[in-house]
Amino acid sequence: MTSSKHHGSCLCGDVQFEAELDLSKGSRCNCSLCTRLGATGSLLKPAAFTLLTPESTLASFTRTPDIGRRYFCARCHTYCFGKGHLEMLGGDFVSVNLNCVDGFDVTKAELIYWDGRHDNWSAGPRAEPWPVS
């Protein structure tokens, strides 16, 4: 499957976006935040992402301000996307929570797994989940 434009939103609809995505692929991370969120992500360049609603609809959180920030709906608190900069990911990036994309079915996606819990980014992704311990 190739990338195409998809619409996404939070649960209440206050946050809406469009993104050029390939919904046949996704990634998971075992870091403490991703594990708690249960997010399935897709990395893309900022030019492939458009926030359709005002930034005032967003709240954000970061533990690593030098790498990135996660954005949530300020009303329903759904995690929608993250933005940041990490050379290992090719520089500036947006990570869309695919669970917020209309029509996404995680059971139909081929997943890769990152070892963020151990800051093991240099190992790259793999086909099976990394341990959380």
Domain ranges of the chain: 4-117
Q: What is the pLDDT of residues 107-122, one digit of tens each?
A: 899 999 999 899 888 8
Q: Which CATH architecture has domain 4-117?
A: Beta Complex (2.170)
Distance between CA 55 and CA 37 in Å, rounded?
21
Please provide the size of the chain in residues. 133
**Is residue 7 pLDDT above 80, yes or no?**
yes
Give Dmax over CA atoms of the chain in angstroms: 39
Span 13-63, pLDDT tens digits = 999 999 999 999 999 999 888 889 899 999 999 999 999 999 999 999 998
